[in-house]
């Protein structure tokens, strides 16, 4: 034991009320004293290993006997049988081994000494001496020019590595501007997001809510899969019709509705889930992800939950053929907030 450290001193010996009586006498198990009991356990363990073997064979049989053919019941049966056989095989091997260890292997506790973890003073000094010798030979302390230029080179090395990641995504045009835009613009028809039919004001009953998309979405080619998903992630909207007087019109949004039909972004201003739970009584929309609740009758403002900003509203008009269309694009970025959202033009 080292002299310079208090570690591993018998901590509890100082002022301890009772001396350590040492390990209690070992108590024999039945299997230690009765050969019959030991034999019985041996048979038990062997039986478990035996059943495990059979279970593995059962797995093979189930695998071969139940080819999948699209029938869901058969799939379920296959899953249960394969799992039960494999699980049972594993489980029994485990239980057998543990029973063997607990009942038949010696259960006399062994004692081993611990050794102090700290090196001896000689070793510590030896290590310091070795390091000093090496450092001295390298001359890193004396040759300051080498040391400093190496530090400079090493300090800048991470930058090329970071810049290598620059093409992970397109940074031109600047993301804050890309995020601010949707494909809505003046004249874009509002279409049902399932049938893609254009919508006439008379199609909507009072209190009715329709999930909608810009008509220009349908014009995107099928192959533009990523682009289509992006439109779904940014340009999805809600149409709702309320009685006049049931809703308030915020300042500056006069004339954005058509006969009480209002259009809001469907993308939550918190972290971007599509808000989709509609409470007909209150005309509130609730986001199922974090329960931000938006009052569609009050300009889409937040009435509950972690979101801060109102749902952006899309001004509506009726086009020459009598269908609902956007009177302009969104006047602000839709979706979650980001640092530059107030700076960018949408």
Touching other proteins, residues 302-341 (CB under 8 A) = 302, 304-309, 335-341
193 binds other proteins (CB under 8 A): yes
Site for other proteins in 199-218 (CB under 8 A): 211, 213
In the list 6, 33, 205, 281, the residue contacting other proteins (rule: CB under 8 A) is 6
In the list 165, 205, 252, 254, the residue contacting other proteins (rule: CB under 8 A) is 165
Nearest distance from C-beta of residue 168 to other proteins, angstroms: 4
State in Å, rounded, how far the first CA of the chain is from the last one. Answer: 74
In this structure, what are the phi and psi dihedrals at residue 50, rounded to the nearest 5 degrees? -65, -45
Q: Where does this chain touch other proteins (CB under 8 A) — which range of 34-42, 148-156, 228-236, 322-330?
A: 228-236
38 binds other proteins (CB under 8 A): no
Cα–Cα distance, 300 to 286 (Å, whole number): 11
In the list 35, 70, 160, 221, the residue contacting other proteins (rule: CB under 8 A) is 70
Cα–Cα distance, 238 to 278 (Å, whole number): 10
79 binds other proteins (CB under 8 A): yes
Cα–Cα distance, 34 to 19 (Å, whole number): 36
* Beta strands, E only, 182-276: 190-192, 209-214, 237-241, 261-265
234 binds other proteins (CB under 8 A): yes
Q: Are 256 and 327 in contact (CB under 8 A)?
A: yes
Query: How far out from the chain centre does Cα 52 lie?
Result: 38
The reply to whether omega before 173 is within 30° of 0 (cis) is yes
Nearest distance from C-beta of residue 328 to other proteins, angstroms: 21
131 binds other proteins (CB under 8 A): no
Q: Select 60 or 151, whichever has its Cβ closest to other proteins.
A: 60
Q: Can you say whether residue 121 is alpha, beta or left, with left for phi > 0 and alpha for psi between -120 and 50 degrees? A: alpha
230 binds other proteins (CB under 8 A): yes
Nearest distance from C-beta of residue 304 to other proteins, angstroms: 6
**135 by DSSP, 3-state: which?**
helix
Residue with tokens 């899953």: 79
Angle between helices 35-65 and 72-103 (to 10 degrees): 160
44 binds other proteins (CB under 8 A): no
101 binds other proteins (CB under 8 A): yes
Nearest distance from C-beta of residue 9 to other proteins, angstroms: 8
Q: In the 8-state DSSP scheme, what is residue 317?
A: E
Q: Select 46 or 97, whichever has its Cβ closest to other proteins.
A: 97
In the list 47, 54, 97, 130, the residue contacting other proteins (rule: CB under 8 A) is 97
Half-sphere exposure of 332 (CA within 13 A, CB side): 17
In the list 4, 21, 254, 345, the residue contacting other proteins (rule: CB under 8 A) is 21
In the list 4, 27, 36, 69, the residue contacting other proteins (rule: CB under 8 A) is 69
């Amino acid at each position: 034991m080292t002299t310079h450290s208090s570690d591993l001193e018998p901590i509890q010996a100082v002022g301890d009320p009772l001396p350590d009586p040492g390990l209690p006498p070992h108590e024999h198990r039945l299997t230690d004293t009765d050969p019959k009991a030991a034999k019985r356990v041996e048979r038990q363990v062997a039986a478990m290993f035996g059943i495990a073997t059979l279970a593995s064979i059962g797995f093979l049989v189930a695998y071969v006997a139940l080819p999948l053919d699209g029938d869901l019941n058969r799939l379920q049966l296959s899953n249960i049988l394969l799992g039960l056989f494999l699980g049972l095989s594993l489980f029994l091997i485990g239980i057998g081994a543990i029973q063997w260890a607990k009942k038949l292997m010696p259960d006399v506790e062994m004692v081993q000494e611990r050794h102090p973890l700290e090196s001896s003073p000689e070793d510590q000094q030896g290590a310091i001496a070795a390091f000093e010798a090496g450092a001295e030979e390298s001359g890193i302390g004396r040759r300051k020019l080498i040391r400093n230029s190496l530090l400079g080179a090493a300090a800048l090395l991470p930058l090329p590595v970071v810049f290598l990641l620059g093409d992970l995504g397109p940074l031109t045009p600047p993301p804050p501007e890309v995020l601010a835009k949707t494909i809505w613009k003046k004249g874009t028809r509002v279409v049902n997001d399932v049938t893609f039919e254009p919508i006439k004001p008379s199609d909507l009953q009072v209190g009715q809510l329709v999930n909608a998309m810009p008509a220009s979405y349908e014009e995107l080619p099928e192959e533009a899969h990523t682009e289509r998903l992006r439109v779904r992630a940014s340009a999805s909207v809600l149409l709702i019709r309320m009685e006049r007087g049931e809703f308030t019109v915020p300042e500056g949004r006069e004339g954005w509705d058509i006969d009480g039909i209002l259009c809001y972004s469907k993308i939550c201003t918190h972290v971007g889930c599509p808000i989709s739970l509609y409470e007909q009584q209150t005309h509130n929309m609730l986001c199922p992800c974090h329960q931000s609740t938006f009052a569609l009758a009050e300009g889409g403002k937040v009435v509950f939950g972690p979101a801060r900003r109102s749902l952006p509203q899309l001004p509506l008009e009726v086009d020459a053929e009598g269908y609902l269309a956007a009177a302009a694009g969104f006047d602000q970025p839709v979706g979650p907030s980001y640092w530059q959202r107030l700076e960018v033009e949408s």
